[in-house]
Structure 1
């Protein structure tokens, strides 16, 4: 098992380019199964989860031509669906929660799919109900086989229908959209997710010949078509990386330019970091975070303590709450972090408390952070990364701390951040992979 050894206290300085969006990649790569024609995708993040999905596509018989680590062409003319019911797929797919995204396109084009029990982060319950119920409403039959650990889906006749989703799940919406694009008739999805990544998927599908309207809203209308063709697609910059770098600059008193940040797609994210007192400037599509001696958390207009919580888009993404929490530890003032969607995502705060942070974990969903205002630095410790976002939050804490920190289980960080150690060394960080 690999670890990061970090000597903290270095001010980061320089320019960094965010990778392609991980959460978009898992949807877009799955969509290549919808057509026998060539689909070329650029700005692919070179990370474990995405590379594992590409490997699974290759195992299924998809022809893959990787121009470089960030560009690839896919041709799904011959697809071996039976591989999806193999022990090899169960082992690989079970490690990757994103493998569930293969079900929608497979149902649309081949009328059957298999879903292994999902893996991924240990951040609490992540239901598949939205996916399965959506497929059933389109006419798919669903059975769970405990003896092989698979969900079996059959859909000889997918038909368009109206559905009101019980939650605006991003992956659930994407999966249902991909299943519906080749169903007979019209599908209407209300309470649909409307994240930029989902908008990207819908625009790509329309270029392939789909008929999707309402993109960017929570009401999608999909007229089924008989055939989808090839296309080219470029992924957005990863908004979670952008937010991570904003927090990293503030915590280390650095001066960082985030080049090509995709500002128009960041929504409320910059405003939430401004509420923590972090200054930033926009130049074209670049974000500049200047060196700040201190940053002070705002209060609400009535003077009460600021609360930052997650919410479906265009609200604040839950993937950045861990980052906001760790950044608040060195701010002036207090903030309540309310993680509504996942009940285990705040459990990493015990490591921050061991480092000297003043945090009260109120319950599995809420943590009160009393900022130290840099009067007392965090201290380096040995710790383990429980999930992707908590792992990077602990890395940010280690970069700002006094002394040496060791972060174990960094495979979790590698799942979502490409070559993060090398990229941070280029900014002046003292970090080694051991």
Structure 2
């Protein structure tokens, strides 16, 4: 288990380019299974979860060619369905939550799918019902082997239909869309997720020959087609990494410019950080965060404590609540962070409390943060990263703290952030990777 040794207190300065979006990559990579023709994808992040999915596709028989540091071509003209029966496939798929999205393409093109229960962050219950209810609505027959935790799906005769999703799941919507693009007839999908990454997937599928309308809304119409062709696709910058860099700049009193952030695709993320008192200067597609000694959290109009809560798009993404929480620890003022979707995601606050933060964990979903306004800086400690977003939040805390911190289990951070130590060290951080 690798660790970071972090010397806190350095002020960073410079420009940083966000990686390609992790959550988009996991959808887009699975979509290459929908066609035997070549698909070229640019701005693929070099992170653990994405690399594991590329390896899984290769093991399934997809021809993978690396064209450059962030560009790959994929050709799924000889997919080996027998590999789905092997223990190696089940083991690799179960270690990666994004692997569930291979099911939609497999059902659409080959009429069959199999998967062991996916892994991923331990942030609470992450049910798969939306995916499978959607497949069943399209006519797939579903069986779950509870003893071995294996999903078996027969989708030889998928037919379009109307369905109202029980939740606006991003991965669930992506999976159902990919299954429906080659189903017979028309599918109407209501309460669909409409995140920019889902829009990217639909735009890519339409370039491949799919007929999807309503993209960007929660009501999608999909006319089934017989086959899909190849295409070229460039992924968006990762909005979670962009938000992480904004929080990092504020916490460490740093002057950072985030290049090519595609601000028009960030929704309310910039305004949410502005409500935390952080100054942002938008220059085209770049975000400049000037060095700030103090930043003050706004209140609601009636003077009550600000609440920052997650919500489905275009609401605030749950993946950035951990960043908001840690950023608030050195702000002036108080904020209530309400994590509605996952009941275990706030449990990392005990590490911040050990560092000197004033946080009241009200219940598994809510934490009140009383900002210290830098009067009492955080102190370095040894801690363990429980998941991707909490791990980066702890890294931000360590970079702002006095003294040295050690963060264990940084494999969690590597799952979602590309060479984060090298990129931040280039701005003046002191992060040492320990084997």
TM-score, normalising length from structure 2?
0.99
CA distance in 1, matches of 2:87, 2:407: 33
Matching residue of 1:288:
288
The alignment partner of 2:88 has SS state of: helix
For residues 244-300 of structure 1, what are the alpha-carbon distances to aligned partners after superposition, in whole Å with 9 as ceiling and x for unaligned? 000000000000000011111000000000000000101111000000110000000
Question: Shift of the alpha carbon at 1:62?
Answer: 0.4
CA distance in 1, matches of 2:81, 2:15: 44
The alignment partner of 1:383 has SS state of: strand
CA distance in 2, matches of 1:345, 1:318: 9
The alignment partner of 2:222 has SS state of: strand
CA distance in 2, matches of 1:349, 1:82: 45
For residues 327-377 of structure 1, what are the alpha-carbon distances to aligned partners after superposition, in whole Å with 9 as ceiling and x for unaligned? 000000000000000000000000000000000000000000000000000
CA distance in 2, matches of 1:77, 1:101: 19
Matching residue of 2:126:
126
The alignment partner of 1:232 has SS state of: strand
For residues 104-161 of structure 1, what are the alpha-carbon distances to aligned partners after superposition, in whole Å with 9 as ceiling and x for unaligned? 0000000000121110000000010000000000000000123443100001100000
CA distance in 2, matches of 1:146, 1:338: 33
Alignment of 1:109-258 (within 5 A): 109-258=109-258
Matching residue of 1:374:
374
The alignment partner of 2:58 has SS state of: helix
Matching residue of 1:68:
68
CA distance in 2, matches of 1:284, 1:155: 46
For residues 303-333 of structure 1, what are the alpha-carbon distances to aligned partners after superposition, in whole Å with 9 as ceiling and x for unaligned? 0000000000000000000000000000000
CA distance in 2, matches of 1:146, 1:78: 31
CA distance in 1, matches of 2:149, 2:69: 33
Work out whether 1:39 is the aligned partner of 2:55.
no
For residues 226-255 of structure 1, what are the alpha-carbon distances to aligned partners after superposition, in whole Å with 9 as ceiling and x for unaligned? 010000000000000000000000000000
CA distance in 2, matches of 1:429, 1:73: 35
CA distance in 2, matches of 1:86, 1:121: 25
Structure 2 runs not aligned, ≥5 long: none
Matching residue of 1:334:
334
The alignment partner of 1:295 has SS state of: coil
TM-score, normalising length from structure 1?
0.99
Q: Which runs of 4+ in 1 moved over 4 A?
A: none
Aligned length: 434
Matching residue of 2:397:
397
Question: Shift of the alpha carbon at 1:68?
Answer: 1.9
CA distance in 1, matches of 2:382, 2:229: 51
Give RMSD over aligned pairs. 0.6
The alignment partner of 2:326 has SS state of: helix
For residues 371-399 of structure 1, what are the alpha-carbon distances to aligned partners after superposition, in whole Å with 9 as ceiling and x for unaligned? 00000000000000000000000000000
The alignment partner of 1:301 has SS state of: coil
Work out whether 1:383 is the aligned partner of 2:379.
no
The alignment partner of 2:166 has SS state of: coil
CA distance in 1, matches of 2:268, 2:122: 27
CA distance in 1, matches of 2:306, 2:394: 23
The alignment partner of 1:360 has SS state of: strand
The alignment partner of 1:32 has SS state of: helix
Alignment of 1:9-88 (within 5 A): 9-88=9-88
The alignment partner of 1:61 has SS state of: coil
